[in-house]
């Protein structure tokens, strides 16, 4: 078990907290602040105990340079509202200006640093950059579970320069997810969707051996359908993943359940040509955008009686209704199960919230990739560097 903020004295200390404030934005506004709220218990606990809190995070993919639309300004504003106190926002995450601002802090003050990914050294996990990040602080707290599978300067490198412990969100994720990793009660099922097979099913490796059932939907099921010889028209597929897909299908055997009917259209935005067809009858000019009702019924039947289910990845292009039906229905199916139901991923979590069933599932993890890596027993670099109890 990892040390957490509860195990250390923080009073009067300068504490650098790596949060996951990678929130969805539209026109400069935060459309879902769940990730900010998830970090509040850690921040509030530190403040109550008289720490000086220096927050940092990445946001989006700025490719190592400053980008106006990926500044953390909206996060600073929202955070200040949620904490009901002033949050001092700095225009960089390292350097002289940061050092000065931190020097001027009093107990209970909060500073938010600018997007760590504005520096290319962040993703390179550059040791000199990590040292600069660490310099103004006396303690490092990692609360960014969703980024813990990446060895970046602000998640891994920085912890080599400071005493490093887990935040309360990180602790909660570890407690809930180690139970699935170490002691998932069988029958054990996984529901997988999302856009790409390469970031999903292709990486489930060890998990596959422990699964009794693998239900596949979303864009990534298209490549599996292709392996079975299905003509998928203009649907999203990854030709370079056909071999991986074939291997997985082979290993999974009868445990793998694929869509038998799908909702297709010419375009997800206009919804033109929207109809439900059997997988053998997909029109050449259309694309698969959701699973069909018969597939959902099949999924529901197969899940009946399972004791543990993990779900990552929407079953369709759920941000474009009506192609959200399969995904929302799956959220309902899991909510009705008498089983341990663990959901992970930013988009999947948002879908579960939209379906209104967050309270009826066992756990919604803030991690997508980190969640899949962790439950199959991989070592997460951002976690490995934290002190043990
Ligand atoms: P999470 O964030 O929960 O880990 P992903 O980011 O992997 O999930 O997948 C979500 C994306 O997958 C969404 O943008 C959704 O539109 C897309 N998607 C799901 N099914 C399809 C499909 N059939 N065609 C195209 N995109 C799809
Ligand atoms: Mg996503």
Q: pTM here?
A: 0.90
Q: Can you give the pLDDT at residue 348?
A: 94
DSSP secondary structure code for residue 184 in this structure: P
- For residues 303 and 98, what is the distance between their CA atoms, to the nearest angstrom? 52
Distance from the alpha carbon of residue 76 to the mean position of ligand 1, in angstroms: 28
Ligand 1 test: best mutation among 34, 35, 60, 195, most atoms within 8 Å of CB? Answer: 195
Distance from the alpha carbon of residue 32 to the mean position of ligand 2, in angstroms: 13
pLDDT digits (tens, 9 = 90+) for 60-101: 999 999 999 999 999 999 999 999 999 999 999 999 999 999
369 part of the active site = yes
Q: Is the shortest distance between the CB of 193 and ligand 1 below 6 Å? A: yes
Q: Is the shortest distance between the CB of 348 and ligand 1 below 6 Å? A: yes
196 part of the active site = yes
Domain boundaries, the chain: 5-169, 177-375
Ligand 1 test: best mutation among 147, 191, 194, most atoms within 8 Å of CB? Answer: 194
Distance from the alpha carbon of residue 96 to the mean position of ligand 2, in angstroms: 35
pLDDT digits (tens, 9 = 90+) for 7-62: 999 999 999 999 999 998 988 999 889 899 999 999 999 999 999 999 999 999 99
Q: 177-375: same fold as 5-169?
A: yes
Q: Please identify which of the residues 167, 194, 369, 382 carries the catalytic annotation.
A: 369
Q: Can you give the pLDDT at residue 32?
A: 86
172 part of the active site = no
- For residues 306 and 175, what is the distance between their CA atoms, to the nearest angstrom? 22
Name the 3-class secondary structure at 198. coil
Distance from the alpha carbon of residue 268 to the mean position of ligand 1, in angstroms: 12
So what's the architecture of 177-375 in CATH? 3-Layer(aba) Sandwich (3.40)
Closest residue CA from atom 5 of ligand 1: 194
Banded model confidence at residue 139, pLDDT cuts 50, 70, 90? very high
Banded model confidence at residue 278, pLDDT cuts 50, 70, 90? very high
H or E, element range at 216: strand 213-216
- For residues 221 and 115, what is the distance between their CA atoms, to the nearest angstrom? 34
Half-sphere exposure of 279 (CA within 13 A, CB side): 21
Which CATH homologous superfamily contains domain 5-169? Answer: Phosphoglycerate kinase, N-terminal domain (3.40.50.1260)
């Amino acid at each position: 078990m990892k040390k957490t903020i509860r195990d250390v004295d923080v009073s009067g200390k300068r504490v650098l907290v790596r949060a996951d404030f990678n929130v969805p934005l539209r026109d400069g506004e935060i459309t879902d602040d769940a990730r900010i709220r998830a970090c509040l218990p850690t921040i509030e606990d530190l403040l109550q105990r008289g720490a000086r809190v220096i927050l940092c995070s990445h946001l989006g993919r700025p490719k190592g340079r400053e980008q106006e639309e990926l500044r953390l300004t909206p996060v600073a504003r929202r955070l200040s509202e949620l904490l009901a106190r002033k949050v001092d926002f700095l225009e960089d995450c390292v350097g002289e200006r940061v050092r000065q601002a931190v020097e001027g802090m009093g107990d209970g003050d909060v500073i938010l640093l600018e997007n760590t990914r504005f520096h290319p050294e962040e993703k390179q996990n550059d040791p000199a950059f990590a040292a600069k990040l660490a310099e103004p602080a006396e303690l490092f707290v990692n609360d960014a579970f969703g980024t813990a599978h990446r060895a970046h300067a602000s998640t891994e490198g920085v912890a080599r320069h400071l005493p490093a412990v887990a935040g309360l969100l990180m602790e909660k994720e570890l407690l809930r997810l180690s139970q699935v990793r170490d002691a998932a009660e069988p029958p054990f099922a996984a529901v997988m969707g999302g856009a790409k097979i390469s970031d999903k099913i292709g990486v489930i490796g060890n998990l596959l051996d422990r699964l009794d059932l693998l239900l596949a939907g979303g864009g990534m099921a298209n490549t599996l359908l292709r392996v079975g010889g299905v003509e998928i028209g203009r649907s999203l597929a990854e030709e370079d993943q056909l071999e991986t897909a074939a291997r997985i299908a082979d290993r999974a055997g009868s445990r793998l359940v694929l869509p038998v009917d799908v909702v297709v259209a010419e375009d997800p935005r206009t919804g033109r040509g929207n109809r439900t067809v059997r997988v053998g009858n997909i029109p050449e000019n259309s694309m698969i955008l959701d699973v069909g009702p018969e597939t959902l019924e099949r999924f529901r039947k197969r899940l009946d009686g399972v004791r543990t289910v993990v779900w990552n990845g929407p079953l369709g292009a759920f941000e474009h209704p009506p192609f959200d039906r399969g995904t929302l229905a799956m959220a309902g199916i899991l909510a009705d199960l008498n089983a341990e139901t663990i959901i992970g991923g930013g988009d999947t979590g948002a879908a579960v919230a939209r379906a209104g069933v967050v309270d009826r599932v066992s756990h919604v993890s803030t991690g997508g990739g980190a969640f899949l890596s962790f439950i199959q027993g991989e070592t997460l670099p951002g976690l490995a560097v934290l002190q043990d109890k």
